Amino acid sequence: MNNRMILAAVAAALVAAAAPAAQAKDWTHVKVGIEGAFPPWNALDPQGNLTGLDVDLIKDLCTRAKVECDLQAGEWSAMIPSLNAGKFDLIMTLGINEKRKQVVDFTVPYASGVASFIVEKDGPLAKMPMTGEKLDLNDKEKADPVMKSIGEMLSGKAVGVVQSTSHEQLITAYFGKDVTLRTYKNSGERDLDLKAGRIDAGFDSGVYGATLPSKPGNEDLTIVGPQLKGAMLATEVAIGMRKGETELKEKLDAAIKSAAADGVIKTLSVKWSKLDLTPTF
Amino acid sequence: MDFPFLYETFLTLIAALPLTLQLAATAIAFGAILALGLALCRISGILPLDWFARLYIFIFRGSPLLVQIFLIYYGLGQFREVRHSMFWFILRDPYWCAVIALMLNTAAYAAEIIRGGLLSVPHGQVEAARSCGMSPFMVFRRITLPLAVRQALPAYSNEMISMVKATSLASIITIMEVTGVAAKLISETFRAIEVFVVAGFIYLAINFVLTRLVAFVEYRLSPHMRQPAPLSAATVAGEIR
């Protein structure tokens, strides 16, 4: 037997062993991975308990889907690997984009957000164009000139993003070698470096940015530039799951749609972010 | 196994190897100098110096390197006074913050290793050197230090290996050394196993070369442990005549 045949035999045995287990799963108990370092979506309170929009919402969704949910905190860059390794069954706050679709499945979005730049109030980047206005990157005619002028402002500067985010992908795709990209484990560490002046700008979820300056110690930070969506930005926020879990996806899709219809998503997102993030399906 | 992907990953990660080596080499070199100073303080018999070194070693050996890196990089950067001081041009740079943290940490461990080496030098050797009329400094340079280095080398090679691996922690302060690049690759491909296997192999290769180098130095430093080289016919003939 040559190597290829042995490999094929092993693979077949693994599939045979895994397949019945996958079918037999009847989803009464679900492990949900939540980062716990991305307020107001999710955070850890002083007692170490998970809190935030994601937490309130997933509890509601689990009741609607009639499953028992066990929430676990974890590092962001390990979320998708942990999901595919079976440590989690669902992961929260996963923005939908093409690259991620190749490795995981998504529910329908549970929130619709934007992405924007965070800078120091009195720095040179505070004069970025289109501050506070919405800009869809898929509308190339309108968006490309704006992004070009932002690119010129950022040229030679350092921009901080959280690793494994679509924000990282956008900065690389639009500005590439013109900016120095610095990647962090979470938004909080990036903001420390922004305040220390080691980087010139941050790029992050608009919802994270909206609540940021109101927090103690962040008085010098502000949101600038357009509120971006489209292109590779994963602003439509959904729950991620392993590929092929159709039964779980159906349950959660129905739960999200009913929560949106009942106004629960609106109530919770206004409570946590002051913005109505209810998605359209 | 997806060999083209492994090969591509290897090429991407190997590009970050110089940075890993540079971090390790700088930290080990500066750390060794600092460690020698600390070890001398410990055995100096001068109480304030001895206690300073004890306190230093206690702090840096007793707290996690990860915490030290965080404190030096994020902690110091929070103080306005530090940001406006003359040291900021060094502390602003994640590379130098990592070097400083690694250096301060390795110095604490190496100081104790060197102290062990210094204390192991037989008293008779030192007395013999003195009786030849060597000055205390010359005794240290010619007798004590070389013998101490020989004694300390096996334990010190452990410390060097740990330092090579500890450079991977620098990735948490945005340094793109081998582990930092590996984490980036995983975020792009979501293929954690392949990428970490290749990264692990690279560290293994570095440490393989490092242990061979230490073994070579050890061999050169211990001629007394070997059989004397057989006399060649020419020298034998020379002696007879």
Q: What is the CATH number of the domain that holds B133?
A: 1.10.3720.10
Query: Mind listing the pLDDT tens digit of every residue in chain A (281 residues)?
Result: 456 655 555 555 554 554 444 444 678 899 999 999 998 999 999 999 999 999 999 999 999 999 999 999 999 988 999 999 999 999 999 999 888 999 999 999 999 988 999 999 988 899 899 888 889 999 899 999 999 999 999 999 999 999 989 999 999 999 988 999 999 999 999 999 999 999 999 999 988 888 888 888 888 899 999 999 888 898 999 999 999 999 999 999 999 999 999 999 999 999 998 888 999 88
Q: How far is the C-alpha of A263 from the C-alpha of A153, rounded, in Å?
A: 41
Structure confidence by residue, pLDDT tens digits, B176-233: 999 999 998 988 888 888 999 999 999 999 999 999 999 999 999 888 888 877 777 6
CB A84 to CB B190 under 8 A? Answer: yes
- Least CB-CB distance to A163: which of B83, B183, B190? B183
3-class DSSP assignment, residue B220: helix
Residue of chain B with shortest Cα separation from A199: B92
* Minimal CA separation from B10 to chain A, in Å: 20
Average pLDDT for chain B: 92
- For residue B186, the chain A residues in CB contact (below 8 A) are 77, 81, 164
| CATH 3.40.190.10 domain position(s) in chain A | 3-112+236-273, 115-229
Structurally, chain B folds into a number of domains equal to: 1
CATH superfamily, domain A115-229, is Periplasmic binding protein-like II (3.40.190.10)
Closest chain B residue by Cα to residue A3: B1
The answer to whether the CB atoms of B190 and A103 lie below 8 A apart is: yes
Q: Can you give the pLDDT at residue A24?
A: 45
Q: Looking at the DSSP assignment, which residues form a beta bridge with residue A50?
A: A44
**From B74, B188, B190, residue closest to A192, measured CB to CB:** B74
Q: Give the one of B77, B186, B192 whose C-beta lies nearest to A192's C-beta.
A: B77
Q: What residues in A contact B77, CB-CB < 8 Å?
A: 192-193, 196, 198
Q: Which of A163, A169, A194, A219 to mutate to test binding with chain B, by most B CBs within 10 Å of its CB?
A: A163
Question: Which positions in chain B have a beta carbon within 8 angstroms of at least one beta carbon in chain A?
Answer: 74, 77-78, 83, 92, 94, 172, 174, 180, 183-184, 186-188, 190, 192
Fold of A3-112+236-273: D-Maltodextrin-Binding Protein; domain 2 (3.40.190)
Q: What is the pLDDT of residue A6?
A: 59
Given a contact cutoff of 8 angstroms between Cβ atoms, the answer to whether A191 and A147 are in contact is: no
Query: Who among B74, B78, B190 is closest to A80 (CB)?
Result: B190
| DSSP H or E segment with residue B84 | none
Asked if omega into A40 is within 30° of 0 (cis), the reply is: yes
Alpha-carbon gap, residue B87 to B85, rounded angstroms: 5
Interface test with A, best of B174, B188, B197 (most A CBs within 10 A): B174
The reported pLDDT for the residue numbered A19 is: 46
What residues of B are in contact with residue A103 (Cβ under 8 Å)? 190
- HEC profile for chain A? CCHHHHHHHHHHHHHHHHHHHHHHCCCCEEEEEECCEECCCEEECCCCCEECHHHHHHHHHHHHHCCEEEEEECCHHHHHHHHHCCCCCEEEEEECCHHHHCCCEECCCCEECCEEEEEECCCHHHHCCCCCCEEECCCHHHHHHHHHHHHHHHCCCEEEEECCCHHHHHHHHHHHHHCEEEEECCHHHHHHHHHHCCCCEEEEEHHHHHHCCCCCCCCCEEEEEEEEECCCCCCEEEEEECCCCHHHHHHHHHHHHHHHHCCHHHHHHHHHHCCCCCCCC
pLDDT of residue B143: 93
Handedness of CA B145, B210, B28, B75 (dihedral sign): negative
- Reported as type and span, the H/E element at residue B161 is helix B145-166
What percent of chain B has pLDDT above 90? 81
Which among A81, A193, A196 has the least Cβ separation from residue B186? A81
Q: Residues B73-120: pLDDT tens digits?
A: 999 988 888 889 988 999 999 999 999 999 999 999 999 999 999 999
Residue pair A114/A227 in contact (Cβ under 8 Å)? The answer is yes
Predicted confidence band at B2 (pLDDT cuts at 50, 70, 90)?
Answer: confident
